[in-house]
Structure 1
Amino acid sequence: MLIGDVARHSGVSTRMLRHYDALGLVRPTGRTVGGYREYSAEDVRRIFHVESLRSLGLSLKQVGRALEDPAFTPSALVSDLIRWTEDRLARDQELLGRLRAIDASAPTGWEGVLRIVELMQGLDSTSAARRQQAVLSRPEGVSVPAELLAGAVLAESDPNVAGALRWALARSDGDGVATLTAGLHSEDVDVRRRAVLAIADMPDAPATTAALADALGDPDTTVRRHAALAVGTRGVAAAVPTLVGMVVEGANDVDAAEVLGTLSQDPGCADRILTALSDELAAHTADSAARIRLTQALVELPGTTAREVLRRLAHDDDRAVALVASAFVAALEVRSTEDRGDEVP
């Protein structure tokens, strides 16, 4: 079979067949009287073998070794090909992400494209100082995709850079909530912690509130606490158990008590909070520090019922609790007197 016929039947160009011949990959076994290449059936089968191996990503040199070297084992080669392919896909995925980020910024000219590329390069720096500078020195008028900032937040381990990224994300024009919400479902607890902090800094909206409420069920205590503080200020009563637990454990207890006070503005939630605090007071009779924190939390609650509990605590068997409660009762009575004096007759 002449080279033209082989090309038509195999789909391999005559130029490539000549290249295979020059490399010694597929040499025709015969020549015509006129000196033209003449391929046998075995030669054609070898061409298909070469093409099959090339389709796996092998170089022509690797194909030659695979066909000629008995020690060139398929298992080792395939493992290498898998690793190289995975690396290439990762690079392609990174490139795709960069291109999408640029596209999302809707640049009006190449200057805008270069600014976004410059930001991405800065965020990829191994220097925390440079990453922070890249975020804070963003030029005016350059729109940065929220998804880009959200992705950077989830990957950032330096607290100062993470704070700058959250600040920039909260003030961006886009919506990175979807990216952050996906981060809340990461198997990496550090990613989930970064996600909940970033969502907490974003403006109140149904999507952010729903994501934070969902994080109240996270297996990590830190994630639950951040979510409770954020979602509690947005009026979600489901945060009450976690907030009360924070008061008991002394974890951001002052902040937790203030949020409980905010939630207590809702009459339907006030009774629930008062009951929860009272139950914890009864359950921690031997823990003076916890009972003092619970007593302090009661001060944040409005209404006479909470004050009645404080008055009872002023006579508590624990002298430290009684002294704290007495001081608060006195302060509240002074405040009430002043408030009445400010009333217009």
Structure 2
Amino acid sequence: MNTNKLSQTRISVLDLAIVRDGGTPSETFKNSVDLAQQLEKWGYYRFWLAEHHNMPGIASSATSILIAHIAAATTTLRVGSGGIMLPNHTPLIIAEQFGTLATLFPNRIDLGLGRAPGTDQFTASALRRDEHAAMEFPANVQELQLYLSEGNKNGRVRAIPGEGLNIPIWILGSSTDSAYLAASLGLPYAFASHFAPSQLHTAIAIYRNNFKPSDQLKQPYVIACVNVIAADTDQEAQRLATSFKKLFLGIITGNRQQLKEPVDPDDNFMDPMEEAALQQMIAYTFIGGPEKLKKELEQFLEQTKVDELMVATAVYEHEARLHSYEILGQLKNGLL
């Protein structure tokens, strides 16, 4: 096994802008800025935010605005969407928004696109989302590409700013449908294995086997997103992870809650049936001290051969979350 895989792989962050129990969106945004600034020092590559709506525990609903806020507070980190839920918007609006972002922050903006609503069906309707919008996703991606291209300068409808800026477009997915689309368009592909692990290997194989080179990308490029909770010891990491596990269990049961304070895990922490269901959802979750974490992440990278690792870390205390990312950065940089 190549024991240097972690040091050779780009590591990035998916920030869900989680509002913890007893916290506020204002606190969340301040913490996100602080995190992004620290990640820049630790050598992380990009910082993505995800569009969600009607979720008391997630504050990234106005994703483009939050991307601008983070980009303005950093200097080298790539900042983008992981993703923009395109069926909620017209392609022109997104072309203009990201054209504006790319004009303000040249060569630092990524545009990741997903087909899900990022919310429940009632909120999706309130967003004026056509019930067939997801079916039109491939055509809408291509329309967005057109608006961002130099070739549209004679078009009747133009994205200004945006036109000709060559903003990198990513296809996001949690199933094989997105893999086929990313491959056919010759776009980089990011898979949401942090909450949908079952089709990761199949989707990556489909993408790589069907990839067609494009002006944007000549070779396949894959990101896998995973959950990582690191601490100085395995025991402390397991304690911190109780907040994350309760959060995801709420998603499974429909009892969505804000991120709770961690507790000492014991035999009564979680019902065995609930825990079994949870483990299926969070199979690609890495919890532990430096030694355990390095071993397991090296194995994951060797098995998947992904080009980049994206990490989501749901930890209640901001300082503990920073320390988790610091440990991972030190592992990558060979300092641990």
| TM-score normalised by length of structure 1 | 0.23
| TM-score normalised by length of structure 2 | 0.23
Instruction: Decide which structure has greater strand share.
Output: 2
Instruction: Decide which structure has greater helix share.
Output: 1
Q: Which has the higher contact order (CA 8 A, sep 6+)?
A: 2
